């Protein structure tokens, strides 16, 4: 049985996630459009040889397609995972252990 802290009702999902995510994405799109129109695109070039205007132009058009709204079931799954960790049912693996594992795998491939 699911805990109430791990279940989102539809109001929480739509207002707390979908609505806020949608407005944030529209605001980000507006800022890129503003930078493109006003010529404020020098921050978009990461490398010296990058064309700042072209980078801003491509980011603007790519960002229109971005949708960071996550499914309700996925968010509830994340909440459930956090709840299990808080209750001590699941154990977290420290990043240092994971990093060491990758280093060991990389060293094994080199030899």
pLDDT(72) > 50: yes
Residue 2 has pLDDT above 70, yes or no: no
| Residue, of 8 and 5, whose pLDDT is higher | 8
The predicted pLDDT at position 1 comes to 43
Q: Is the pLDDT of residue 111 over 70?
A: no
Average pLDDT over residues 78-85: 90
Q: Sign of dihedral through CA atoms 17, 21, 22, 24? A: positive
pLDDT digits (tens, 9 = 90+) for 13-42: 888 888 998 899 999 899 999 999 999 988
Rounded Cα gap, residues 30 and 48, in angstroms: 26
């Amino acid at each position: 049985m699911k805990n109430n802290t791990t279940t989102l009702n539809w109001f929480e999902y739509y207002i707390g996630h979908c609505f806020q995510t949608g407005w944030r994405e529209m605001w980000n799109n507006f800022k890129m459009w503003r930078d493109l129109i006003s010529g404020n695109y020098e921050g978009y070039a990461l490398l010296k040889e990058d064309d700042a205007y072209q980078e801003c132009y491509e980011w603007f058009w790519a960002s229109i397609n971005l949708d960071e709204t996550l499914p309700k079931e996925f968010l509830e799954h994340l909440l459930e995972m956090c709840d299990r960790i808080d209750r001590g049912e699941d154990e977290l693996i420290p990043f240092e252990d994971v990093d060491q594992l990758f280093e060991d795998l990389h060293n094994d491939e080199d030899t």
